[in-house]
Amino acid sequence: MRYAYYPGCSLMESAREFDVTTRAVMERLGCELIEIPDWTCCGASAAEPVSRLMNYALPARNLAIVEQEMEGLDVLAPCSACYLNLLKVNREVVGDRHLHGQVNEVLAASGLHYRGDVTVRHLLDVLKTDVGAKIAEQKVTDGLKGMKIAPYYGCQILRPYPVFDEPGNPTSMEPFIRAMGGEVFEWRMGNRCCGASLMMGHPEVAIESVAAILADAEGADAIATVCPLCQMNLEAYQARAVKEGGKPVPVLYLTQLMGLALGLDRETVQLEKNLTMTAKVREDMATRAWAMPEPETGTGAAGVTDQPQEKGASHV
């Protein structure tokens, strides 16, 4: 399985661990990701408030390149905002003759043209539909036994276009969490908006959403996300959100958790990049603290697989 890979700007900047783990996990699952040559920003959710045309032309430029140079490949986007923007071109531009003409007129300024033949997929769609949790399970070397993981889908991945899952009650991450040996943490906030870029201009409003999400995640060992903005909002503002009633919870990319279970090395999984990775959380991860029997027994708890370095460390 080969895909035209669209990392998006965040994955080149503050969310590099998402990029690195996506590439590594997909490779391990037998998918080949070929980065779209010379891709540019999709406009995120900032383009539409500034220019209607650029909101479509920015993502269309990337699809035009795929259509021209990577014929037949589906686009794979790990970021939810990138995914929606690219998908929007196919849903809202293609089929609207007037708008399609306008967008191509803009693209023509760079010698490009988009017919509308490229299929856009989210990472989670490819995992669910093309790979399947069974295949992932077969490759697990070091399961996350007993780890309670709260799947967080956020907004734009299934709204307004619910392509591969049910937007009111999404479940597509769950088979993968179980395949990794983890437990699905039941909660209600999995599809609640994190506030997105409202965090920039009106943090007091966005913090309320983050606090509500983090409060509902109480008891989970980690939140799994598939969007760099969700990850950033849920993680970077935790201290403030805790004051508003949230609970501190590590926020990891689904691909990082999968990377751990698939036995990728530490440099690849890059847990230390996450702001919520305190020494305590790292140690819990390393010792699989949540798999230990309730009262703290000594060493050698059942289900702990080989963890060379930090296993000996006494856990608090």
Partner 1 sequence: MSGAVRETWSPVSDEYRSVLKGLQETVGACMQCGTCTASCPNGHAMDVTPRAMWRMIQFGMLDRILESRTFWMCSSCYMCTLRCPRGLKLTSAMAALKRLARLDGNRAARRNGAFYEAFMEDVETHGRVQETSMMQRYFLKRKDPALPFTFLPLGVKMLCKGKVHLPSSVHNGVLEPLFAKAREMEGMS
Q: Which is nearer to partner 1, 178 or 240 (CB)?
A: 240
The CA distance from 6 to 42, in Å, is 10
Q: Are 170 and 191 in contact (CB under 8 A)?
A: yes
8 Å CB contact between 132 and 274: no
Name residues contacting partner 1, limited to 122-181 (CB under 8 A): 155-156, 159-160, 162, 167
CA 286 to CA 217: how far, in whole Å?
Answer: 21
Helices H / strands E in the chain, number of each: 14, 8
307 forms part of the interface with partner 1 (CB under 8 A):
no
| Contact in structure between 301 and 273 (CB atoms under 8 Å) | no
Stretch that binds partner 1, among 13-21, 129-137, 174-182, 258-266 (CB under 8 A): 13-21
Shortest distance, CB of residue 210 to partner 1, whole angstroms? Answer: 11
> Shortest approach of partner 1 to residue 236 CB, angstroms?
5
Which residue number, 50 or 316, has a Cβ lying nearer to partner 1?
Answer: 50
Residue 35 corresponds to which amino acid?
Answer: E
CA 70 to centroid of chain Cα atoms: 24
Question: Using CA atoms, how far apart are residues 27 and 12, in angstroms rounded to an integer?
Answer: 19
Q: Which stretch binds partner 1 (CB under 8 A): 52-60, 125-133, 137-145, 256-264?
A: 52-60
45 binds partner 1 per the rule CB under 8 A: yes
CB of 78 to partner 1, least distance (A): 15
Residue type, 295: P
Binding site for partner 1 (CB under 8 A): 9-10, 12-14, 16, 38, 40-41, 43-55, 57-58, 61, 102, 105-110, 155-156, 159-160, 162, 167, 192-193, 195-198, 200-203, 205-206, 208-209, 236-237, 272-275
